[in-house]
């Protein structure tokens, strides 16, 4: 055959939510005989990130990795993940020699949407085709691509009068679903990065999205329908759900789960980047006890895991801890989500709807009770509800807006765990998720076609 093997470099952004889909993509590409070089911004923010990376390289010795040493920053930020983006931006000129030195020469480069504006000028300068892996939903991608139009001052003025965002081609979206800084007049850093990254993503060679046809049909149609959203758009390829890999599983046995009846346990986790207030943590704990349901709960009250030194008793209080023992397993900070969602005892997921979590719940057919906390999560929660994977209590609000009380939490958990039709729908979604990445499935074809093109 006259086809050469494609050589692809991957550069992820900060945080597990951004890293995980890159790890899974690296594994998928390697399994299809693509040579992968993984570029690791160093140092990583969290322990979980460095562990996940070591596990990938241990399972796939054929994946090459290159450390990308980040230059120190003059003005550190109080959000470590945000600081990491700044570090990468600051150090980006070091990427050019690193990429040029790779052998065999690269066929393509794939990076995260949040790094697009930083990295594209560098890869363009060395004539490398530039792809973006969009690590959120296709729906969020439609918003992201339209954002520069919205941020235009005239559109912002009109927005004042309305509750919904109305842009040509974009489905109407309540303003309350969008992170407030993006809808403010004047400049702020989130806004500026969003605009710059959005423009660069629209100029890229192609956009890969961790989603699938039947899950987000309408948004995918909009994205690939010529000129509906923007005059010029690269092709948008759904390649998800990127399957969780064996290497991600931990050695730890969740023996507690093994002893619970099938489908009886609700898994409670709000992602790797959300720290709930102390008061909300306790209210949530009380709600779980009151719900009468069995639960496994990941408690997190610091953004970065390295900073978490306080014991569970300190956060939750001895007395509540004692009452939770009977029905629940409480874990500090981190549990291997793949171990949990794949376990037959788990029948529900009380989730923030980070996009990876949504795809993982779909993959395992676990129904969701959505409680979005920030960022893209309300948009994602809406998708979950509309497709029938779960429910979302919209009145709960997000961020530090309000405290949701124990009675409401208990009630909604009871409802979701008892909802039989939702359980069946979730199983149907699981079937579709497996089909689309299997031979002949849409996502499988999407990725294979890209790989063929890259190898030419």
CB 154 within 8 Å of CB 189? no
Distance of alpha carbon 130 from alpha carbon 95, whole angstroms: 14
Contacts of 49 (CB under 8 A, 6+ apart): 14, 15, 16, 19
- Per-position x/- string for 229-268, each x denoting binding to ligand BUP as judged by CB under 6 A, each - no binding: ----------------------------------------
Binding residue (CB under 6 A) for ligand BUP from 111, 205, 272, 436: 272
Closer by beta carbon to ligand BUP, 109 or else 355: 355
Closer by beta carbon to ligand BUP, 347 or else 375: 375
Q: How far is the CB of 126 from ligand BUP (least distance, A)?
A: 29
Closer by beta carbon to ligand BUP, 220 or else 379: 379
CB 94 within 8 Å of CB 71? yes
Question: With binding defined as CB under 6 A, does residue 281 bind ligand BUP?
Answer: no
Where in 294-313 is the site for ligand BUP (CB under 6 A)? 298
Count of residues of this chain found to bind ligand BUP when the rule CB under 6 A is applied: 19
Question: With binding defined as CB under 6 A, does residue 44 bind ligand BUP?
Answer: no
Distance of alpha carbon 105 from alpha carbon 97, whole angstroms: 12
Question: With binding defined as CB under 6 A, does residue 123 bind ligand BUP?
Answer: no
Q: Concatenated DSSP letters for 269-325?
A: E--SS----HHHHHHHHHHHHHH--EEEEEE--SSSGGG--S-HHHHH-HHHHHHHT
Closer by beta carbon to ligand BUP, 16 or else 416: 16
CB 28 within 8 Å of CB 243? yes
Where in 135-194 is the site for ligand BUP (CB under 6 A)? none
Question: What DSSP designation does 9 have?
Answer: E
Binding residue (CB under 6 A) for ligand BUP from 191, 273, 367, 406: 273
Catalytic residue among 112, 197, 339, 376: 112
Distance of alpha carbon 329 from alpha carbon 331, whole angstroms: 6
Contacts of 225 (CB under 8 A, 6+ apart): none
Contacts of 154 (CB under 8 A, 6+ apart): none
Q: Is the peptide bond before 241 cis (omega within 30 degrees of 0)?
A: yes
Contacts of 339 (CB under 8 A, 6+ apart): 249, 250, 252, 254
Closer by beta carbon to ligand BUP, 206 or else 375: 375
Closest CA to 40 of 64, 75, 59: 64
Distance of alpha carbon 261 from alpha carbon 119, whole angstroms: 49
Binding residue (CB under 6 A) for ligand BUP from 328, 348, 375, 446: 375
Q: How far is the CB of 180 from ligand BUP (least distance, A)?
A: 16
Closer by beta carbon to ligand BUP, 128 or else 346: 346
- Per-position x/- string for 332-361, each x denoting binding to ligand BUP as judged by CB under 6 A, each - no binding: --xxxx----------------xxxx--x-
Considering only the stretches 15-23, 86-94, 166-174, 205-213, report the one whose residues sit in contact with ligand BUP under the rule CB under 6 A: 15-23
Q: How far is the CB of 20 from ligand BUP (least distance, A)?
A: 4
Q: How far is the CB of 330 from ligand BUP (least distance, A)?
A: 12
Distance of alpha carbon 295 from alpha carbon 288, whole angstroms: 7
Q: Is 112 annotated in the active site?
A: yes
Q: How far is the CB of 135 from ligand BUP (least distance, A)?
A: 7
Residue 165, classed as helix, strand or coil, is strand
Distance of alpha carbon 77 from alpha carbon 100, whole angstroms: 31
Length of the chain in residues, anyone? 456
Considering only the stretches 14-22, 95-103, 285-293, 444-452, report the one whose residues sit in contact with ligand BUP under the rule CB under 6 A: 14-22
Question: With binding defined as CB under 6 A, does residue 378 bind ligand BUP?
Answer: no
Q: How far is the CB of 247 from ligand BUP (least distance, A)?
A: 13
Closer by beta carbon to ligand BUP, 260 or else 269: 269
Question: With binding defined as CB under 6 A, does residue 269 bind ligand BUP?
Answer: yes
Question: With binding defined as CB under 6 A, does residue 17 bind ligand BUP?
Answer: yes
* Positive or negative: CA dihedral 289, 295, 296, 302: negative
Active site residues: 18, 112
Give the residues lining the site for ligand BUP (CB under 6 A).
Answer: 15-17, 20, 269, 271-273, 298, 334-337, 354-357, 360, 375
């Amino acid at each position: 055959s006259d086809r050469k093997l494609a050589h692809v470099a991957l550069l992820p952004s900060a945080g597990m939510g951004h890293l995980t889909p890159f790890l899974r993509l690296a594994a998928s590409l390697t399994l299809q005989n693509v040579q992968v070089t993984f570029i690791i911004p160093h140092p990583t923010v969290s322990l979980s990130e460095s562990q996940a990376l070591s596990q990938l390289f241990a399972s796939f010795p054929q994946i090459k990795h290159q450390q990308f040493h980040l230059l120190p920053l003059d003005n550190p930020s109080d959000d470590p993940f945000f600081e990491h983006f700044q570090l990468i931006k600051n150090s980006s000129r070091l990427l050019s020699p690193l990429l040029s030195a790779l052998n065999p020469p690269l066929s393509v480069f794939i990076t995260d949407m949040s790094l697009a504006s930083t990295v594209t000028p560098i890869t363009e300068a060395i004539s490398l085709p530039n792809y973006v892996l969009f690590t959120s939903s296709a729906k969020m991608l439609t918003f992201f691509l339209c954002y520069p139009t919205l941020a235009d001052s005239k559109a912002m003025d009109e927005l004042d009068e309305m509750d919904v965002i109305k842009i040509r081609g974009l489905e109407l979206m309540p303003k309350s679903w969008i992170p407030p800084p993006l809808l403010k007049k004047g400049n702020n850093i989130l806004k500026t990065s969003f605009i710059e990254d959005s423009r660069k993503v629209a100029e890229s060679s192609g956009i890969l999205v961790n989603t699938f046809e039947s899950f987000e049909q309408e948004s995918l149609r909009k994205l690939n329908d010529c000129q509906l959203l923007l005059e010029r758009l690269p092709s948008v390829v759904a390649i998800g759900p990127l399957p969780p890999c064996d290497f991600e599983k931990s050695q730890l046995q969740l023996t507690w789960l093994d002893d619970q009846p099938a489908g009886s346990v609700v898994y409670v986790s709000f992602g790797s980047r959300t720290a709930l207030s102390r008061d909300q943590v306790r209210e949530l704990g009380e709600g779980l006890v009151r719900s009468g349901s069995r639960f496994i709960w990941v408690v997190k009250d610091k953004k970065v895991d390295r900073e978490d030194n306080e014991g569970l008793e300190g956060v939750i209080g001895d007395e509540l801890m004692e009452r939770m023992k009977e029905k629940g397993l409480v874990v500090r900070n981190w549990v291997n989500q793949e171990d949990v969602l794949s376990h037959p005892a788990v029948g529900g997921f009380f989730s923030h709807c980070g996009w990876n979590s949504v795809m993982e719940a779909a993959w395992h057919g676990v129904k969701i009770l959505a409680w979005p906390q920030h960022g893209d999560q309300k948009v994602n929660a809406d998708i979950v509800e509309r497709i029938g994977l779960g429910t979302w209590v919209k009145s709960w609000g997000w961020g530090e807006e309000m405290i949701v009380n124990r009675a409401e939490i208990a009630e909604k958990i009871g409802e979701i765990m008892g909802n039989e039709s939702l359980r069946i729908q979730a199983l149907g979604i699981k079937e579709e998720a497996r089909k689309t990445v299997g031979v002949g499935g849409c996502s499988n074809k999407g990725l294979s076609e890209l790989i063929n093109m890259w190898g030419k």
